[in-house]
Amino acid sequence: MFASARDARTALDRTVGALPESFHAIDYGDDRVVIGPTGAFALALAEPGLEEAAERASRVASNVRHVLASRLSWAPFVEAMVVVDHAATRTGAAALVPARLLARVMTSGPCRLDEDEIDRMVVTLAGASPVPA
């Protein structure tokens, strides 16, 4: 079980690390927040289980929106996602995204944030302490 969790975390880190240069990843406790031209994403691994991870990703997304809105006076929608190793659709709180599709999901779609907005968000979140999810 621990090897599986470690492998999943390594796969997530590898995927996030391989995103285009315009995407920025921020550690948020055990989870990740990714901000790029297509939006902002709160990523959690399905640990210890799907529902718990979905709730955690949802709380991280909410916390990020709160921090950004309070410090920048605006905040984009932050998509809560749980990274899974199998095909799945959704839980009540977050989208379930197979790890093999994660990069495509985050990089596809219309550009909603410009470089200046991305930079301001990254600087703001880098200076904020994560609220426990």
Q: Give residue-wise pLDDT tens across range 85-102.
A: 876 656 778 999 988 899
Q: Higher pLDDT residue, 130 or 52?
A: 52
Q: Is residue 33 part of a domain?
A: yes
pTM as predicted: 0.87
Q: Is residue 36 part of a domain?
A: yes
User: Which residues 6+ apart lie within 8 Å of 121 measured at CB?
Assistant: 35, 40, 68, 72, 76, 113
Q: Residue 18 sits in a domain of what CATH number?
A: 3.40.1350.70
Pairing of strands 39-45, 95-98: unpaired
pLDDT (average), residues 42-52 = 90
**Is residue 22 predicted with pLDDT exceeding 50?**
yes
Q: Is residue 132 part of a domain?
A: no
Q: Which domain holds residue 29?
A: 2-126
Q: Is residue 28 part of a domain?
A: yes
| CA-to-CA separations, 131 to 43, 82, 100, 108, in angstroms, rounded | 15, 18, 29, 29
Q: Is residue 133 part of a domain?
A: no
Q: Is residue 87 part of a domain?
A: yes
Q: Is residue 47 part of a domain?
A: yes
Q: Is residue 79 part of a domain?
A: yes
Phi, psi angle pair for 34, to nearest 5°:
-120, 130
pLDDT at residue number 56: 94
Number of domains the chain contains: 1
Residue with tokens 């799945």: 88
Q: Higher pLDDT residue, 10 or 88?
A: 10
**Is residue 53 predicted with pLDDT exceeding 60?**
yes
Counting residues of the chain whose pLDDT is more than 70, the rounded percentage is 86
